Amino acid sequence: MSASASWLAAAPLVTSRLRLEPLRVEHAREAVSVFDDVRLHTWTGGAPSELAELEARYVRQSAGRSPDGTQGWLNWMLRRSSDGQLVGTVQATLHRPTADHLEAALAWVIGFDHQGNGYGREGALAVAHWLRTQGVDELVAYIHPGHDASIGVARALGLTASDVVVDGEVRWSESGAS
């Protein structure tokens, strides 16, 4: 896809317990404390971001596409409806492996203090459903083999593990194939 091609834009979504807000740079101020926990980087590496780093990342991500235009970037902030607390994120990276096939690689991060409540599953299912209504042909995820919580989310999405490993993460897909 060329740099001038357009991609889907994230839309607000609602579940029984969550509001999924399309990412804005202004989310960084609130998100920095939710994601300021080294335990969130056990599976992905790296370290928590300072506010300026998070704002810069959100500027890039909220553009909605990669700089070269070959990927669409959709990001949502997950907010608990009951009290408005930010609890995590779900993202979808779109690309076209062939001209007639639109694939979305899903990823999710739930703040450490909010894990174990099913927010990752609920948010990812909402995004997956919305993506389907927007014409996405296939959902995939890349998950570290020891990350049981994310494996559970992938299974809830109907994904199965393949034998493809990228940067130490197993590719999960609807067909289980590469």
Express each pLDDT in 2-13 by its tens digit.
Answer: 444 689 999 999
Tell whether 7 is covered by a domain: no
What is d(CA 26, CA 47) in angstroms, rounded to the nearest whole number?
A: 21
- Per-residue confidence band for 41, with pLDDT thresholds at 50, 70 and 90: low
The packing angle between helices 119-133 and 148-156, to 10°, is 40
Tell whether 2 is covered by a domain: no
pLDDT at 176 over 80: no
Q: For residue 162, give both structure tokens.
A: 């393949």
- Looking at the structure of the chain, the number of domains it has is 1
| pLDDT score at 6 | 85
Look at the pTM and tell me if it is higher than 0.85: yes
Tell whether 151 is covered by a domain: yes
Work out the average pLDDT over 78-86. 98
Tell whether 5 is covered by a domain: no
pLDDT at 42 over 80: no
Tell whether 165 is covered by a domain: yes
What is d(CA 91, CA 9) in angstroms, rounded to the nearest whole number?
A: 12
Work out the average pLDDT over 132-151. 95
Range of the domain at 110: 13-173
Tell whether 97 is covered by a domain: yes
Least confident of 15-24, 40-49, 87-96, 135-144: 40-49
- Per-residue confidence band for 39, with pLDDT thresholds at 50, 70 and 90: confident
How many degrees, rounded to 5, is the angle at CA 20 between CA 130 and CA 15? 70
Tell whether 61 is covered by a domain: yes
CATH number of the domain within which 68 lies: 3.40.630.30
- Average pLDDT score over the chain: 91
Tell whether 3 is covered by a domain: no
Residues with Cβ within 8 Å of 82's Cβ and at least 6 positions away in sequence, in order, are 17
SS3 track for the chain: CCCCCCCCCCCCEECCCEEEEECCCCHHHHHHHHCCCHHHHCCCCCCCCCHHHHHHHHHHHCCCECCCCCCEEEEEEEEECCCCCEEEEEEEEEEEEECCEEEEEEEEEECHHHCCCCHHHHHHHHHHHHHHHCCCCEEEEEECCCCHHHHHHHHHCCCEEEEEEECCEEEEECCCCC
